[in-house]
Amino acid sequence: MKKRHLWHKTLLKSVTGALAIILVYILLFLEIMIYEGQTAHVNIYDSIYWVVTTLTTEGYGDITMTSPIGKMYAVFVQLTGIPLVFGILFTLIIIPWMEKKIQSGIPSKAPKKLTDHIIICGYNRLIETLIEELKENDIPYILVEEETELVMELLKRNIHAIYGLVSEEETLRNANIKEARFLIANRSDEMNANIVLTARNISDLNIIAMVEDRANKKYLKYAGATSVVSPKELFGRFIGRKAADPFVNRLTGATEFFEGVSIVELPIYPKSPLIGKSMKSAAIREKTGANVVGMWKGGSLTFVIKPDDIIKDNSVLLAIGSNDQLSKLKKLTQSTE
C-alpha cells in the first residue's frame, strides 16, 4: 500500500510539473506569435495545438516560426519534448502498467484453506533446505518474496510462494497470518525488524527472526520476536571447545523451528572422519539424514555450499534436521567412524 501511494504521489507531481511546463510553452508561443506579427495564431487553440505537436516531434508544418528566436524556441521545445512526454509516458505509466500485468499472473494471496502453516519471509539456501524438511514432514508453509522473477522461479520448482512486500500488513494478511503456526523473518536485520513489528501488530503468533549482526539481536527481541537465531553467536559458543569433547546425547545451542526439527551449528573436531573430505564425498545427508545448509569458511559464514568444498578441522557446519538426525551428525563431527 505504501509503495502504491508513493507511486501515485510521484505520478501526480510529475504530471503537475509537466502541465506547468506546457503552460509556460503556450505563453511563450503566444508572445513569439505577437513578436513575429502572426496574430492569426494568437489564440488558445493554435497555441495548444502547436505546443503538443512540437513536444511529440510530430510537427505538421502548418504553423511555423520565421524569426531566429522563434526557430530556436521551436528546436528547444522539440528537444525537451522527448524526455518530458516519453519519460513520463513510459516511466510512470506504460512500464508500471506492464509490471502490474506481469504481477497479476503471480499469486499474491495464500489459499484460504491454508491454516496451521509456517510463513517464511525471504528466500535463500537455508530456507530451501528448511522447505525440504517441511515437505518431508507434511507441514504446510507459504514463502513470501518481493521479487516477481524469483517467485515465478520458485513456483516452477513446486515451492509454494506468493508475491508481496514482506513488511506490509496487507501482505502478511494475504499469507493468512491469523491462522499461521509461526513466522520466520529471513531478510536483513533492518527489514526483519519491520517484519516483526508488523506481524506482532496483527498477531500473537511465534516469530523467529534471523539476525546477521548479533548486536541487533536485542532490537529484534524488543520488536517482538519470540526467538532470534544468530549463527555468529552460536559459532562463538563453540570457539572455546575445539578440544575433543565427550559426546552427549543432547544438542546444545539448537534452535527448534517446529516440533522435531531444529537448526544447530556443529564444529568439526580433530578426530572427525569428515576432515579432508569434500561435501560430496562426505555424503552427510545419506549417512545422517540431516541437511547442511551453511558452513564457516575462512572466518565467514556462507550459505552457498559447493560439492567440492573441503571440510577442515576448523570448519563449522550449520545443519537442519530432527534431533536424531542432528545427533548422528554431531557424533560424526566429533569422533572416528
The confidence score (pLDDT) of residue 97 equals 64
Whole-structure pTM value: 0.53
132-188 pLDDT, tens digit each: 778 877 889 999 998 888 888 898 889 999 998 988 999 999 999 999 988 999 988
The confidence score (pLDDT) of residue 258 equals 60
SS (H, E, C) the chain: CHHHHHHHHHHHHHHHHHHHHHHHHHHHHHHHHHHHCCHHHCCHHHHHHHHHHHHCCCCCCCCCCCCHHHHHHHHHHHHHHHHHHHHHHHHHHHHHHHHHHHHCCCCCCCCCCCCCCEEEECCCHHHHHHHHHHHHCCCCEEEEECCHHHHHHHHHCCCCEEECCCCCHHHHHHCCHHHCCEEEECCCHHHHHHHHHHHHHHCCCEEEEECCCHHHHHHHHHHCCCEEECHHHHHHHHHCCCCCCCCCCCCCCCEEEECCEEEEEEECCCCCCCCCCEHHHHCHHHHHCCEEEEEEECCEEECCCCCCCECCCCCEEEEEECHHHHHHHHHHHHCCC
The confidence score (pLDDT) of residue 118 equals 92
185-213 pLDDT, tens digit each: 998 889 999 999 999 999 999 898 988 88
The confidence score (pLDDT) of residue 239 equals 41
The confidence score (pLDDT) of residue 216 equals 85
Show the low-confidence residues of the chain (pLDDT under 70). 1-11, 89-105, 231-260, 298-299, 336-337
The confidence score (pLDDT) of residue 249 equals 39
The confidence score (pLDDT) of residue 14 equals 72
The confidence score (pLDDT) of residue 245 equals 43
